[in-house]
Amino acid sequence: KMTDLRSPTIEDLDVLYKIEIDSYPEDEAATREKLDFRIQNANPYFLVCEKSDTKEVIGFTTGTASTQSILTHESMSTHEANGTTLNIHSVVIAEQYRRKGIATKMLIEYLETVKRTTNIELVLLLCKTNLIPFYEKCGFTLVGKSDVVHGAESWWEMKLSFK
């Protein structure tokens, strides 16, 4: 196995933030404070991907729980620990490791872990048009165009039900 997933610690924050800002436009990237909040408050929904041999952190998937079954700006901005809907915020791999199938493996393992270890029933995310096939390959179905405005581009909502 080339990579392992593990829970993040506060010591990971610098490298996680660097991967985040290298992966998203400035008006879309999570702030350092948001990543810090998610490490401390939504840890069951935050998994770091590291190389098995060197333990180098090369990516991560993070989300927050919600009691709403649709994605809204509000539901994306909070974490409700008792929620049964998971809103995924970031699925990222460091640039030099992209296009090797690592993100697919990471996301599928992340979803299996969440399904096994939490009470989440529904997973939602927003993506751009070019990533729809990637998320479909990982088991998501297209809901439609999202009303959520985040950054300059328009977004598509996708969902995966565990029920």
Q: What is the pLDDT of residue 142?
A: 97
Q: Per-residue confidence of the chain (163 residues) as pLDDT tens digits? A: 799 999 999 999 999 999 999 998 888 889 999 999 999 999 999 999 999 999 999 999 999 999 999 888 888 888 999 999 999 999 999 999 999 999 999 999 999 999 999 999 999 999 999 999 999 999 999 999 998 876 677 899 999 999 8
Q: In whole angstroms, what is the distance from residue 39 CA to residue 69 CA?
A: 23
pLDDT given at position 76: 84
Residue with tokens 């490791």: 97
Please give the single-letter amino acid code of residue 123.
V
**92 close to 107: Cβ distance less than 8 angstroms:** no
Sequence-distant (≥ 6) Cβ neighbours of residue 87 within 8 angstroms: 63, 64, 65, 66, 71, 75, 76, 124, 125
Residues 6+ apart with CB under 8 A from 34: none
Extended beta strands in the chain, E state: 3-6, 46-51, 57-66, 85-93, 122-127, 141-145, 156-161
pLDDT of residue 91: 96
Q: How far apart are alpha carbons 143 and 126 in whole angstroms? A: 10
Distance CA 23, CA 27 (A): 12
**Per-residue pLDDT tens for 120-137?**
999 999 999 999 999 999
